[in-house]
Each structure stands twice: as C-alpha cells, then as structure tokens.
Amino acid sequence: MLWTASLCLLWALSIVGAPVNKQRQRVLLISFDGFRWDYDRDVDTPNLDKMAMDGVKALYVTPPYLTITSPTHFTLLTGRYIENHGVIHNMWFNTTTTEKRPYYQTQFVNEWWDNGTLPIWITAQRQGLKAGSLHFPGTASSYQGQVAMVREVEPLLYNYKNETAWRENTDKVMGWFRDQDLDFVSLYFGEPDSTGHKYGPDSPERREMVKQVDRTVGYIRNSAEQHGLTDSLNIIITADHGMSTVYRNGLVEEITLSKIPGFSFRDLSFHLVDFGPSGMLLPKPGKLEKVYSALKGAHPHLHVYKKEEMPERLHFAKNDRILPIILWADPGYVINGYFPVQFHKGEHGFDNQEMDMKPFFRAVGPVFHKNLEVGPFETVNIYPLMCHILGIQPEVNDGHLNATKHMLVTSATAQDVNFLRNVFTGLAAVAGFLVIVFIVMVSHTMIKNKRKNKRPANLKHLPEKENTKQTAF
C-alpha cells in the first residue's frame, strides 16, 4: 500500500514540471489601403490612439519597391521582396501580345499570383490551421492548387467607401473566427487610397476619410469583444503604401516621354507608363542602348535604370517579369507617355525611401505589449511575426523576427506564468492524490477490523494465526 502511495505521489509531483499548453492565438491582418504614416496627425483619431495605448504603435513602416497595391500586399502575405515573389505590378501584362489587364481583372489571373511563393493562408492550412481572407489582394487565386479555406472577393465596381459595408464585413470576419474556428484572416479596406488619389493627401476629404477609418477601428475592436475573441485575437493594422501630392497646373515641368529628344515609342516592343510615377520599357532588339541613352538625364526628376543596374536596396531587378529599363519619378511628378492622361491629385509608386510612401502600423492583442511605441521597420518583417504568433513554420522569406519580437510579451514572462500555473496544478494534484491514498488506507483498515469482529464465537479464544488459517480453510 505504501508502495502504491509513493508512486502516486511521485507522479503527482512530476506534474509540477510538466508543460502547460499555451493559450491559442489567432491573427487578424487588416490593411487600410494608402494610409500614410502621419495621417493621424492632423485628424482626431481616438480609436487609433486607444489602440496604441492598449498595444503597439510603430513610428512608420517601409514597404517594398514598387510602392503600389498588389505587389506590396503580397509582400505582407509572404514576407518576400517583390523581385522574389513575382507579383511585380497591379497589372498583368503580356509583352508578346501587348495585352494589359487592369487591377481587378488581374486578381483572377491565377498564374500571375501562383508563381512559386505561398501566402500565409496556404502555409497555415498545410500546418493544420484554418485561414480566410476578405477582399485582400491575391484572395481570388489558388496556390499550388489550394485556396484560403474561407474567402470572399469583392464584386466588380465595388464601393470601397461604404462605411456600412465596412461594418458588415467586420462582423462577417469576426463570425468566421467564432463560428468557423479560423486561426488567421486577412481583411482589406480600399480607403483612404481612393480619396487620396482623387482629392490629394492634404485635402479635407482625406481627413474626413481618416475619421471614417478611425471609427471603423473602434468598431473592429468592439466587434471582436462582442464575438468573445478578446483573449485570443491579435489584430495587426497596417497599409501597403502612403500617398504624395502631384504637382500640376504649370507648377513644374511635367515628364512626358514623347517630348524627350532622341526617344521614340517606335523603338519599344512594349511599355508600362501612364500609371503614376513608375514605368517599365521593353526596347526592340538592338534598341536598348538608344532608348536608355535618350532617357538617362533627360529630366532632372526622372530616374532611369537598366534592370541590372538597379540599386540593390530596392530589391526590384532579379525577376524575369521585370522589364529591361525601369523608370521612376521624384515625389510630385508622374511619368506621361505620349501626352498627359493622369489627373490624380495624389499618387504612390515612388521610391520607398520617401517619407510620403511610408504606411502606418498598429497592433493589439494578448501577445503584444501595451502602450509601446517602436521605431520603423520594413513590412517584410510582418510575415515572420504573424507566423510566430500562430506557431507555424514560415516559408522562405526576406523578413526577420528580430525586427519585431520586442513588441511581444517576453518569453521569460510567459515562462513565469506557465511555471506558476504548473506549480498550482501540481500542488492540487499532490493534495488530491494524498486524499485518495488516505481514503484507501482508512477503508482498508475499517474492512480489516470488520472482518475481525465477524469471527465465530467458539473460535475467538484461538490464537490469531491459527484462527486465520482455519477461517481461510
């Protein structure tokens, strides 16, 4: 009996050192397209401010070049620079047929997205988690035959400004987490990008749209609470790029390629210009040097590079889809082809070192510190951060967890919490088993005494040893 009790005691004590499962952590990645890092400085944003108090705020983050929507969003999903994941433009194009497809139609060109790099949805699902996406660029595509488990693509001519739809989409995503038990969801809002394009980043219309974004951030956090997700959901809110004011109406000398001496579109097989401040050219055979020489130095605010001479820091050269000559303009300028056809008051697509191209970043949830402001970092680092929170092995990527891990509640603190849980669990187990041992021993003694008292009267005078033998016989 003592041997059995000792085993129980040893087993119970061993529980003190046994690991306790960590609280399951989920991630909601939200992008507000074109939300520049400083958009909260000239607008009252109580909900974004509250989120910073309850979590982490970065001074700004740096997107990859080219600073346009689809390429930079796919970097968020993969942690890879654009030259490595291959979604090099908002537009799918074919240099042989000269066909180009606009942003929305490009969402459905599967081979444009499925180019060897897996977004976090697929990686998570392959490791036993459940993932979904609503309106996020790349959602419509499959990757190596797989899609996000739950997904919704916006319809053609979708109204990205509708605040009621924003709230409906928020509740829909929270329902996915609660009712379909998802671990990761990416959620996209098309503002304040459109407003920044139309009216400019310094306009009162943009400020009003930032107020709408702020109201929505408050609604998102409230919806998470209403759906019972506060203890497990980590919300990361960022953007793909910023926005810069375009100079026109005689304020500057515009960049129009057809007016540059020595340059001719007849020397090109294909071109991507008239899409903001960036462009790519494919010269006809034998015409590369002529085109390059005509454009290089032709305008003080036009940068012209051969693909192989691109600055390494931009990570925009080592991909077959990138054309041989790359152009970009300084902030305030756009690149026109034959004549000006762009009339936006705000643009993006500039060098990612420009401050106007930097997006904002907020994060809140159980794994994040509270009231912490951190320095800038590159958006390629958001992917390994999300993988770490979800507990999945990331694919090959260009980010580093070291760039963001200081945002997280330290591992030592987590170990302390687990240790205390283990101690209390172990002590409770020890106490429980000691009670069981005590009850068993007392019961055994009572049964033994009861048997002793039931011996026949004519045998009670015999010695205990003999009586035991006869009773057994």
Q: What sign does the CA torsion over 35, 39, 43, 44 have?
A: positive
Does position 19 have pLDDT exceeding 60, yes or no? no
Does position 185 have pLDDT exceeding 60, yes or no? yes
Does position 413 have pLDDT exceeding 60, yes or no? no
User: Residue 320: which of 9, 93, 75 has the closest Cα?
Assistant: 93
pLDDT digits (tens, 9 = 90+) for 70-85: 999 999 999 999 999 9
Is the Cβ–Cβ distance between 137 and 107 less than 8 Å? Answer: yes
Per-residue pLDDT, averaged over 443-451, amounts to 55
Domain 255-343, CATH number (from 3.30.1060.10, 3.30.1360.180, 1.10.10.10, 3.40.630.30): 3.30.1360.180
Does position 417 have pLDDT exceeding 60, yes or no? no
Helix (H) or strand (E) holding 87: none
Could you tell me which residues are beta bridge partners of residue 56? 363, 372
Q: Indicate yes or no: pTM above 0.85.
A: no
Phi and psi at 408, nearest 5°, equal: -90, 150
Of 55-59, 296-300, 316-320, 452-456, give the lowest mean pLDDT range.
452-456
Could you tell me which residues are beta bridge partners of residue 451? none
pLDDT digits (tens, 9 = 90+) for 273-332: 999 999 999 999 999 999 999 999 999 999 999 999 999 999 999 999 999 999 999 999
pLDDT digits (tens, 9 = 90+) for 344-388: 999 999 999 999 999 999 999 999 999 999 999 999 999 999 999
Q: Domain spanning 26-246+350-408: which CATH class is it, in words?
A: alpha beta
Classify residue 14 by burial, with Cβ atoms within 10 Å: 0-12, 13-18, 19+: exposed
What pLDDT score was predicted for residue 457? 44
Is the Cβ–Cβ distance between 296 and 304 less than 8 Å? Answer: yes
Per-residue pLDDT, averaged over 399-403, amounts to 98
Does position 464 have pLDDT exceeding 70, yes or no? no
Give the pair of three-digit tokens for residue 235: 């919300």
Assign residue 8 a region (left: φ > 0; alpha: ψ between -120 and 50; beta: otherwise): alpha
Could you tell me which residues are beta bridge partners of residue 54? none
Is the Cβ–Cβ distance between 379 and 72 less than 8 Å? Answer: yes
- Given pLDDT bands bounded at 50, 70 and 90, which one contains residue 423? very low
Is the Cβ–Cβ distance between 361 and 58 less than 8 Å? Answer: yes
What pLDDT score was predicted for residue 248? 84
E strand spans, 201-329: 233-238, 244-245, 255-256, 268-275, 278-283, 302-306, 325-329
What residue spans define the domains of the chain? 26-246+350-408, 255-343, 416-472
Q: How many whole angstroms separate alpha carbon 158 and alpha carbon 154? A: 6
Instruction: Kindly list the catalytic residues.
Output: 69
Does position 425 have pLDDT exceeding 70, yes or no? no
pLDDT digits (tens, 9 = 90+) for 369-380: 999 999 999 999
Q: How many whole angstroms separate alpha carbon 130 and alpha carbon 149? A: 7
Does position 51 have pLDDT exceeding 70, yes or no? yes
Q: How many whole angstroms separate alpha carbon 148 and alpha carbon 139? A: 7
User: Residue 67: which of 331, 350, 379, 356 has the closest Cα?
Assistant: 350
